[in-house]
Amino acid sequence: MTVTGLGASFRFHLASSIRVTLGLVTFQLVLLLVVTALQPAQARELLLKGLAAGIATPDVFSASRLGFALWAVLAAAAAARRLAPAHRGWHLHLPVDLRTRWAAGVLSVASTLPHLAVLWILLWIGATLLGEPASPRALLALPLVALGAAGAWTPAPRRVRACAAVAVPLATSASLPGLAAATALLALAYFQSGRWLPSAVRVPVAPSSLRPLGRRLPTGQLVLSLRALGLWIALTHLPAVLFAAPTGLALHNNEFTPDQSELVLRLGTSLAIAATVLGTATLLNARRPPWAWSRSLPWSARRRVATDAVLLLLVASPLLISAFYLPPSSGLSLLGLLVFLTIRLPGRMRNSLQGLTKLGAWTYIETLLAALLTALQPLIGLALALASPLFLETSVRREQSLKVGLYLERRFDIAREAES
C-alpha cells in the first residue's frame, strides 16, 4: 500500500464523509439526548453508570459494548450507503490498486463515527473515575469495532465484508483472543480485497428448480419496498415504545384486578400495533410513492396490495408477543386487528398526495378507533378480521382506479399551468 495513494483516496472520500458525519451526528445525538432527557433523574444516573461500567468492564460479555457495536454497524451502513457513489465512476480509473482503494473506503466510513468513539472514551473514563473495574482492552476494541463495522458495508466481495463483519463481535468481547482474532480477520479482509476485479463479478443465477417458485412469490415488490424503506425500517417500532413503556409501568406500579390488567395490556398492545402499522405505512407511502412505472410491471393490483399487506404484517408481528399473556379471545382479537390494519392501510396508501403525513386524516382516525374499540371489546377485533376480505377488495379497487397523474386544482393557476 502506497502512503501517497492511500492519502489521496482518503482525502477524496473525506470531502463527502464530513457532510455525512454532520447529518448522522445531528440525528443520532438529538435522539440520544431526547431519550435520556425523558428518564427521571435517578434512572438517568443509573443508566449512565451502567453504560460506563459495561463499556470498561473486563468481562467478555457486555451488553453496553454490544449495544455500541450494533450502533456502529447501523451508523456505518447509513454512511456507506451515502458514500457508495464515490466508489464508482472515474475513481476506478485512478492509478490506485484495489487494496488501497478498499482501505481508503473503510477509513472514510470509519471516520463518520467520531461521536460514537467520543462517547465510548468518555464512558470508559467515567467508569475509571467512579472506581469501576476498567480494562485497557476495552479501549483497544474501539478502533477494531469501528473498522470492522466500516468494512462490513464498504463495497467489496462478500468474503471481504464477511471477515470484517465477524471481526465486530470478536472485538466487542475485549479479550485478548477476541482482539487477536479480530485483527487477523481485518488483515485477511485487506489481503482478499486485492484479489478481486470489479469486471469479474457474476450475477448469481437461481437454480432452475427454484425459478417457478420465485415467479410465484412476490419477492420483487418486497425487495423494492424494503430498499425504499432502507435503514428507516429499524425505527418502525419506535412509536410502539411510546405505548409499551407506559403500559408496562402501569402494570408494574399499580395493583389491578385480573380483568383490569387484561384491559390495560390489551389497550397498550392495540395502540402499539396501530402506531407501528400506521408509521410503517406512512413512511412507505412517502419513500415509495405510487409511480406510474410500478404499475407497468407484470404484477396485478391484488398482488401489489397483498405484498404491501405482507410487509406491514411482518413488521408489526413481533408486537403479538404480549398476546401470550392474554386469554385466547383477547389474543385472537389483537391478531384480527393486525390483519385488518395490514389489509386496510395499503388501500389508503393508494393516493396521489406526497409527503410524510399524506395518508389522509380519516386514515388516522379510523386506525385509532379500530384500536380503541378492539381494546374495549375483543369481539370487534374478530369482526374486523372476518370483514378483511371486503376491505381487501376495496384496496384492490383503489389500486386499479388510482390516477398517478391526478390533477389537483390548488397546484395549478387559472390557465391550468403548473405553479412553480
Q: How far, in Å, CA of 54 to CA of 48, rounded?
A: 10
Mean pLDDT by 10 residues, the chain (420 residues): 66 74 76 73 81 88 88 87 68 72 85 88 89 88 92 86 92 91 92 63 44 53 77 80 82 84 89 90 78 68 85 88 85 90 85 61 86 89 88 83 58 47
In the block, which residue shows the cell 472506581? 131
- The answer to whether 94 touches 11, Cβ cutoff 8 Å, is no
The grid coordinates of residue 134 equal 476498567
| Cβ–Cβ < 8 Å for 217, 299 | no
- Whole-number pLDDT of residue 291: 58
pLDDT at 44: 77
Nine-digit cell string for 289: 410513492
Q: Is 95 exposed, middle or buried (0-12, 13-18, 19+ CB in 10 A)?
A: exposed
pTM reported for the whole predicted model: 0.54
